[in-house]
């Protein structure tokens, strides 16, 4: 298989007089998957993407060393990335009054903002209001998948049937058995690396070659066995063996660059929606893409109340257009999808389309993170350097709380993401005292001996955590913005306290010296795993979508991204988003052919 470095021609003539079978809003994990499934089933599909098509390889420059870059990876003067203090001391809109020409979310400051400055949105153009929230958005073909962290995990019935397990919240309208075949399809189509562990609460995928653990990580894994806990190599949404059916992606060569910056792989071993899903969908001849197209309304047929297309604005010219379709698929990401539904008011749908329940924007949930632990593996001090960051991730410790036990302080659980060993920049250098030759020796001797991990915990879905439209604020295109009414609760705070204690306990059990613990909980939004604003359910009074992510109110409207999730689980969501979208779009295609939509 020869790797195709030139994508299909994206500047297509878009015929807006035509009625497409389906229009998809958004081109990230969810929109890309919808395009793949529907075009494979022969539907004529139009995809509207608010961002531009970027020459992504030139943006990511995965193999560029810091000394090859004029500013060591920093963006040009005039760019600013928001800091933790700005998110917590101030309230949104965070860019208001900033003297910087461009303001980006905190991810812009992670390993060099020059590589993401054209992928992340400029907060000046995209304000939001309300409670503090670190909202990270990527507007480009492929959305956040261009820079995602690649941890690709499945959910289990501990998540889908969480209420049955512990009494809190609501069960999902599906179980693991319903989704398992679609997780398998996603694994095989996109590639995932990992090791089978046979855990009921973290089901295995159909794995390709795993990444190797470093010596310190193996030590921690062995130590945890005594506690009945598991450390497994990072389950990466990366093809390590290659994919014969995809000519746009290479297998992983373990160059490590994706561990140095916020994601991104210029040979596309790491999954991204354009090369993984959209270009192959274009090769079917059934997909048309229009970038720079900001959807602001799901258009409604005044006679039937059904969706008839999308109203959108060209981001460059600010001109308004309509795209017509028999089915509308919203996949603009959890918060933007809720915004679009709420914006779509009509006499038939006065609270926004699909919102007769009043639940759109509510039950908003995600992951809480921040607390963690750093340790020193003493027997590795002074050992010769090894290429430890030549891999797409370190390790994952799956949830171990509230499975067979009941914690007194909190329900649900958390997992740890971490890594140990040598990396491009020795993380301990700044904290090492001294100067001169001895300082350099100390830094080098210790560089590969550190190991660290941080928790990712489930934030409970609560009706009172929600977003709505701010009647007084608009973005640069005059579209009303979201207003946040959202904060962590006592369950999250107690869970975070437990993360610190459990992290310390695990390092000590493995004989790793704890050099630092961190009990700081990061701002709401920091995990970039927002979920739940249009949840699925069996009851149209308390949910927005049915089990196929189809609107209860409007049967030719589907919302196929994380907004449909009933609870957040503590596992990262993207693989589940894609498995669900695959399942729903197969159902959609079947119903479309039957003429029932
Ligand atoms: C730095 C980083 C690390 C991450 N790490 C992980 C990880 O390790 N594991 C994991 O599971 N997840 C991770 N995520 C989250 C993951 O990227 C998201 O879950 C995933 O991309 C969601 O897919 P989506 O299609 O819903 O949204 P997106 O990928 O955000 O795509 C939505 C698309 O819709 C477009 N859009 C928005 N509004 C409109 C509109 N009005 N009109 C037209 N188009 C619109 C956007 O421009 C965007 O292209 C990470 C994210 C980031 C940024
Ligand atoms: S380690 Fe693999 S996935 Fe990561 S940038 Fe390198 S080749 Fe890509």
Q: In the 3-class helix/strand/coil scheme, how is 201-255 assigned residue by residue?
A: CECCCCCECCCCCCHHHHHHHHHHHCCCCCCEECCECECCCCCCCCCCCCCCCCC
Ligand in nearest proximity to the CA of 234: 1
Report how far ligand 1's centroid is from the alpha carbon of 278 (Å).
15
Q: Kindly give the number of the ligand 1 atom that is closest to the alpha carbon of 32.
A: 25
pLDDT given for residue 122 in this prediction: 97
Q: Which one of the ligands is nearest to 570 CA?
A: 1
- Indicate whether residue 51 lines ligand 1 (CB < 6 A): yes
Q: Ligand 2 within 6 A of 392 CB?
A: yes
Residue having the nearest C-alpha atom to atom 22 of ligand 1: 29
Q: Which of 267, 276, 387, 423 to mutate to test the pocket of ligand 2 (most atoms within 8 A of CB)?
A: 267
Atom of ligand 1 nearest to the CA of 262: 1
Atom of ligand 1 minimally distant from the CA of 153: 11
Token reading at 78: 């005039």
Q: Give the model's pLDDT for residue 139.
A: 97
> Using a 6 Å cutoff on CB, does residue 420 contact ligand 1?
no
The crossing angle, in degrees rounded to 10, of helices 29-40 and 574-594 is 30
Ligand 2 center to 119 CA (angstroms): 19
Pocket flag, ligand 1, residue 572 (CB < 6 Å): yes
Q: What is the pLDDT of residue 11?
A: 66
- What is the best residue among 522, 574, 585 to mutate for testing ligand 1's pocket, by most ligand atoms within 8 Å of CB? 574
Residue whose structure tokens are 């869970």? 495
Q: 3-state DSSP helix/strand/coil percent for the chain, to nearest 5?
A: 25, 20, 55
- The confidence score (pLDDT) of residue 324 equals 98
CA of 393 to the centre of ligand 2 (A): 9
SS3 68: helix
Choose which residue among 34, 56, 144 to substitute to test ligand 1 binding: the one with the highest number of ligand atoms within 8 A of its C-beta.
Answer: 144
* 190, 255, 262, 424: residue to mutate for ligand 2 pocket, most atoms within 8 A of CB: 255
Non-local (6+) Cβ contacts of 331 within 8 A are 24, 25, 26, 27, 28, 30, 31, 34, 337, 559, 560, 561, 581
Establish whether residue 562 lines the binding site of ligand 2, counting it when its CB lies within 6 angstroms of any ligand atom: no
* 451 C-alpha to ligand 2 centroid (Å): 21
Residue nearest to atom 35 of ligand 1 (CA): 26
In the chain, what's the furthest Cα-to-Cα distance? 80
- Which of 194, 208, 256, 394 maximizes ligand 2 atoms within 8 Å of its Cβ, making it the mutation to test the pocket? 256
Among the bound ligands, name the one nearest to the CA of residue 569: 1
In the 8-state DSSP scheme, what is residue 476?
A: T
For residues 270 and 27, what is the distance between their CA atoms, to the nearest angstrom? 17
Query: Which atom from ligand 1 is nearest to the alpha carbon of 339?
Result: 41
- Ligand 2: centre distance to CA 121 (Å): 25
**Low-confidence residues in the chain, pLDDT < 50:** none
pTM of the model: 0.97
Short-list 289, 279, 366, 283, CA closest to 323: 289
Ligand (nearest to CA of 106): 1
Locate the ligand 2 atom nearest the alpha carbon of residue 255 and give its number. 6
The pLDDT value given to residue 425: 81
Which mutation among 299, 332, 573, 582 tests ligand 1's pocket best, with the greatest number of atoms within 8 A of CB? Answer: 332
At residue 458, the 3 state secondary structure works out as: strand
DSSP class of residue 276?
A: I
Q: How far is the CA of 364 from the centre of ligand 1 (A)?
A: 16
Q: Is the CB of 31 under 6 A from ligand 2?
A: no
Alpha carbon nearest to ligand 2 atom 8, residue? 265
* Residue 6 pLDDT: 67
Residue nearest to ligand 2 atom 7, measured at CA: 252
Q: Is 149 in the pocket of ligand 2 (CB under 6 A)?
A: no
Nearest CA to ligand 1 atom 2: 148
User: Which ligand minimizes its atom distance to the CA of 121?
Assistant: 1
Q: What distance in angstroms lies between residue 454's CA and the mean position of ligand 2's atoms?
A: 22
SS3 (DSSP) at 160: helix
Pick the ligand that lies closest to the CA of residue 141: 1
Beta-carbon contacts of 356 under 8 Å, excluding residues fewer than 6 positions away, are 349, 540, 552, 553
CA 381 to the chain's CA centroid: 36
**pLDDT of res. 72:** 87
Residue 509 tokens, joined: 């059990």
Q: What is residue 481's three-state secondary structure?
A: strand
Nearest CA to ligand 1 atom 48: 143
Nearest CA to ligand 1 atom 49: 143
Q: Is 257 in the pocket of ligand 2 (CB under 6 A)?
A: yes
Q: What crossing angle do the helices spanning 490-509 and 215-225 adopt, rounded to 10°?
A: 100
Q: Is 329 in the pocket of ligand 1 (CB under 6 A)?
A: no
Residue from 209, 270, 275 whose mutation best tests the ligand 2 pocket (most atoms within 8 A of CB): 270
């Amino acid at each position: 298989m020869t790797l195709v470095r030139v994508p299909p021609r994206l500047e297509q003539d878009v015929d807006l007089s035509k009625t497409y079978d389906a229009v998809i809003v958004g081109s990230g994990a969810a929109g890309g998957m919808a395009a793949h499934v529907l075009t494979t089933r022969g539907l004529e599909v139009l995809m509207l993407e608010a961002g531009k098509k970027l020459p992504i390889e030139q943006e990511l420059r995965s193999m560029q060393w810091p000394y090859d870059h004029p500013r060591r990876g920093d963006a040009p003067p005039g760019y600013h990335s928001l800091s933790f203090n700005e998110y917590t001391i101030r309230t949104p809109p965070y860019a208001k009054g900033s003297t910087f020409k461009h303001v980006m979310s905190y991810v812009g400051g992670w390993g060099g903002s020059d590589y993401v400055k054209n992928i992340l949105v400029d907060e000046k153009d995209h304000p939001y209001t309300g409670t503090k929230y670190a909202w990270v958005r990527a507007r480009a073909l492929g959305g956040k998948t261009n820079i995602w962290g690649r941890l690709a995990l499945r959910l289990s019935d501990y998540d889908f049937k969480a209420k049955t397990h512990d009494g809190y919240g609501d069960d999902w309208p599906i179980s693991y058995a319903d989704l398992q075949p679609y997780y398998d399809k996603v694994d095989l189509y996109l590639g995932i690396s990992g090791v089978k562990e046979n855990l009921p609460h973290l089901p295995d995928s159909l794995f390709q070659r795993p990444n190797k653990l470093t010596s310190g990580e193996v030590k921690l894994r062995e130590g945890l066995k005594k506690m009945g806990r598991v450390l497994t190599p990072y389950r990466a949404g990366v093809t390590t063996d290659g994919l014969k059916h995809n000519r746009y992606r290479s297998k992983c060569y373990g160059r490590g660059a994706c561990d140095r910056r916020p994601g991104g792989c210029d040979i596309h071993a790491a999954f991204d929606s354009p090369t993984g899903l959209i270009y192959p969908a274009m090769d079917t001849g059934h997909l048309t893409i229009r970038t720079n197209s900001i959807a602001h309304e799901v258009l409604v047929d005044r006679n039937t109340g059904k969706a008839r297309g999308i109203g959108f604005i060209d981001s460059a010219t600010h001109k308004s257009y309509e795209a017509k379709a028999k089915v509308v698929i919203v996949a603009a990401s959890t918060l933007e999808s809720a915004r679009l539904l709420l914006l779509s008011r009509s006499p038939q749908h006065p609270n926004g389309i699909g919102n007769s329940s009043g639940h759109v924007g509510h039950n908003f949930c995600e992951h809480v993170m921040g607390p963690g632990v750093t340790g020193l593996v003493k027997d590795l001090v002074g050992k010769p350097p090894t290429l430890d960051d030549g891999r797409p991730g370190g390790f994952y410790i799956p949830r171990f709380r509230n499975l067979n036990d009941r914690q007194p302080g909190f329900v649900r659980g958390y997992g740890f993401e971490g890594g140990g060993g040598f990396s491009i920049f020795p993380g301990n250098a700044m904290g090492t005292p001294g100067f001169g030759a001895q300082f350099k020796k100390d830094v080098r001797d210790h560089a590969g001996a550190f190991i660290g991990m941080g928790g990712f915990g489930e934030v409970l879905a609560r009706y009172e955590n929600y977003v709505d439209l701010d009647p007084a604020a608009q973005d640069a295109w005059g579209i009303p913005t979201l207003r946040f009414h959202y904060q962590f609760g006592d369950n999250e705070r107690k869970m975070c306290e437990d993360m610190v204690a459990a992290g310390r306990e695990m390092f000590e059990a493995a004989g790793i010296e704890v050099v630092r613990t961190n009990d700081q909980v990061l701002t709401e939004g920091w995990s970039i795993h927002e979920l739940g604003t249009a949840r699925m359910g069996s009851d149209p009074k308390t949910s927005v979508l049915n089990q196929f992510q189809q609107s209860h109110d409007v049967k030719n409207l589907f919302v196929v991204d994380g907004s449909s999730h009933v609870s957040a689980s503590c596992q990262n969501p993207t693989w589940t988003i894609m498995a669900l979208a695959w399942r729903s779009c197969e159902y959609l295609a079947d119903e479309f052919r039957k003429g029932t939509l």
